[in-house]
Structure 1
Amino acid sequence: MQAVEPEAPPQEAIYRHGRAVRVTHWLNAFFIFALIFTGFGITQLHAPLYLGDAGQDWGAGIEEINGAARDPYPSILHVPQVPWVDLREKLPAMADFLGTAEVYVRNPTRVRDHIFFAWLFLFNGLVYLAAGLASGRFRTLLRPSRRDLSWRKFARDFWDHVRLRFHKGGEARSYNLIQKYTYLTIIFVVLPLQLLTGFGLLPWMDAGMPWFKDVFGGRQTMRTIHFACSLVVAAFILVHLAMVVLSGFRNNIRSMITGWYRLPR
Structure 2
Amino acid sequence: MKPDRSFFLISGPCVIEDEAITLRIAARLKELTGSLGIPFTFKASYDKANRTAISAYRGPGIQAGLRVLAKIKETLDVPILSDVHRISEVPTAAEILDVIQIPAFLCRQTDLLLAAAKTGKVVNVKKGQFLAPWDMVHVVAKIRSVSNVQPMITERGVMFGYNNLVVDFRGIHIMQQTGCPVVFDATHSVQLPGGAGSSSGGQREFAPVLARAAVAAGADGVFLEVHEKPDQALCDGPNSISLDQLPGLLVQLKAIKAALAV
Q: Into which bin does the TM-score normalised by the smaller protein fall?
A: under 0.3
Larger Rg: 1
TM-score (norm 1): 0.27
Structure with the larger helix share: 1
TM-score (norm 2): 0.27
Q: For CA contacts below 8 A with separation 6 or more, give which structure has more relative contact order.
A: 1
Structure with the larger strand share: 2
